[in-house]
A and B are shown apart, each in its own frame.
Chain A
Amino acid sequence: MSPILTVRDLQVSFRTDDGVVHAVDGVSFEVSPGEVVAVVGESGSGKSVTAQTLIGLTRAPNSKITGSVMFEGADLIELPDDQFRAVRGEHIAMVFQDPMTSLNPVYRVGDQIAEMIRAHRDVSKAEALSRSVDLLRSVGIPNPERRVRDYPHEFSGGMRQRVMIAMALALDPEVLIADEPTTALDVTIQAQILRLLDNLNRDRNLSVVLITHDLGVVAELADRVVVMYGGQIVEDATLDEIFYNPQHPYTWGLLGSIARLDEPRPERLTQIVGQPPSLLNPPTGCRFAARCKYAFDKCTQPPALEARLGDATHLDRCWLTPAEKLESR
């Protein structure tokens, strides 16, 4: 099946007072229809900037975007603003992290959903509102006819996130980008939202690009996982491969740092020493080398993202041989 979204060599940099920040430095991956691709990383990895670039939110006078994002035959990077606006919301929609601040507090929830519908379709306000009621119902909000007239602050955090999801799906997009959709929510509410996203993914064959730092959430929802570090992808594999056969020391570090409930308590949590690299002046060789226990002399040359295992779907960016990797992790 051909992918619905193909990102090739995406580079995003911002001109700031301190210099040029290379937030995303050569990112390539694919999303197939109905697939959930998790983009995992920490602060400074470039995952949020990647997500926002897919929907065109990083276009600004001080930003430079190169590479290509192919969607249904068109390159979104090259698309002029007004044409991209037609894609945004209609074909590619986004849900953000903090539902409390992501909804405009002075407009009713129904009006906000209706605004989105009417931006892309020629329907009356009444029709758009009635569609909003249906949407709220489809994400599991009780009493949608009444709640459509409520303001955002009258909803709890979990309910607000459902509203955001309903709004994002209003026009039946092919791709949903979810930027840390459950990070700000309590764990029991997170479970509800993850279940909702899972159902939506399966019922509508909706492709999801899930940005997160929580590997538990990844295990719950993802089909494929892309691990980002320092503006680059360091590993790209299926869910099982990432968890049971990870090939990059950063991935090992991430998996090891988690305080897990399903295993006995370790004496000390495996920590990754140091901090993420500067995006103003990225290191010349492997960007993780400074913090890597297994760095050796070849790491001064930047490794490419390749399939080193003989499995075309498992790519990694580490010079160690597969045998060495098996031994080390």
Chain B
Amino acid sequence: MLRFAARRLIGMIAVLFAISVIVFLIFNVIPNSDPAARIAGRNANPTLIARVSADLGLDRPLPVQYLTMMKQIFTGELTSYATDQNVADQIWRGLPATLSLTIGAAVLWMALAIWFGYLSAVRAGGFTDRALTILALVGISMPVFWLAAILLYFLSFKAQLFPTGSYVPLTENPVQWAYHLILPWFTLAVLYVGFYSRVLRSNMLDSMNEDYVRTARAKGISERQVRIRHVLRNSMIPIVTLFGLDFGAVVGGGAILTETVFNINGVGLYAGQAIGKLDLPPLMAVTMFGAFFIVLFNTIVDILYAVLDPRIRLGEAAPV
């Protein structure tokens, strides 16, 4: 187990290193991305640009710039080119909103996905199954930003049922917190509900034909117990692993579009703004933050997999 953790830690460092280098290089290749020119303003003359450049340390060789930036990230001193704010601070401030959005959406999507998937599988071929299948496909096909805009327009603007976005901290007012998040939760969850319920349905249909399910029935336990304790339990294993990966990606920045449309001040929104301004430091930091989360969740998922399926032994090679 220790060997496994050590291995994963080294892997994480390697991944983060590789990502940081790639982001850095990409940024330096994008045209029009010279931060000095942007900060100096539209009408800046070359001297001014050169001075801003020197200030920001942009005249130094690339490897040096890279190392400086990495150092700043780890000491928390990284500041944005565009706004002079400390990047770490901004990310920290955006975290509660992002976590509220993503965790809430995750709970919602898992609950609905399991319920729909189970129903679909148990009533396979029937009307319920067909209806849920169509629903799932619609959910998967809808682009997040489009759905968000539609919901905002009809339910917030027109029908005035929900507030038009923005975030109310949990500590300030729990009811308002939830009320403001209902539409965003739903928007973010829809895609995943569709996808996960299909995966669960298909896993359950496969599991139902397994020999051990036949044995369970032969034992005389109730059909419902067979379905839940044997079929569902075994079908959940791939779902849990998928969830870990998706959740890591969503927290790490996948909620950008939802946060932007609903104007939720989270990490995603921050990243969105940084992209618009081609502001490297926040972009680098958010990307690293996202990568860190994804690798972390990847690891958690592997551990969870070993817990759920006793045939898997972590870190040791499989016996031949």
Interface residues of A (CB under 8 A from B): 55, 57, 81, 85-90, 93-94, 96, 98, 101-106, 115-116, 119-120, 151, 153, 164, 167
Contact = CB atoms under 8 A, between A and B. Distances in A.
16 contacts: A55-B218, A57-B217, A57-B218, A85-B222, A88-B220, A89-B219, A93-B218, A94-B218, A98-B211, A104-B212, A104-B230, A105-B311, A106-B237, A116-B220, A119-B222, A153-B310
B308 interface: yes
Nearest to B307: A106
A90 B310 contact: no
B311 A153 contact: yes
Given A115-B219, A119-B219, A153-B310, A101 B234 contact: no
B219 A106 contact: no
B212 A167 contact: no
Rank and list the top 10 A-B pairs by shortest CB-CB distance, nearest first. Answer: A89-B220, A88-B220, A101-B211, A116-B219, A119-B221, A104-B212, A94-B218, A151-B310, A102-B211, A89-B219
B212 A101 contact: yes
Nearest to A100: B211
Interface string B159-175: 00000000000000000
Contact of A96 (B211, B234, B308): B211
Interface string B213-252: 0111111111101000110011001000000000000000
Contacts of A167: 219
B230 A88 contact: no
A87 B221 CA distance: 11
Interface of B: 210-212, 214-223, 225, 229-230, 233-234, 237, 308-311
A243 to B, nearest CB: 31
Contacts of A94: 215, 218
Given A105-B310, A106-B233, A106-B310, A120 B220 contact: yes
A103 B215 CA distance: 7
Nearest to A104: B212
A167 B215 CA distance: 10
Nearest to B229: A115
A101 B309 CA distance: 15
Nearest to A90: B220
Contacts of A103: 212, 215
Contacts of A93: 218
Given A101-B210, A102-B211, A106-B308, A115 B218 contact: no
Contacts of B225: 119
Nearest to B230: A104
A115 B215 CA distance: 12
Contacts of B211: 96, 98, 101-102
A72 to B, nearest CB: 16
A120 B237 CA distance: 29
Contacts of A115: 216, 219, 221, 229
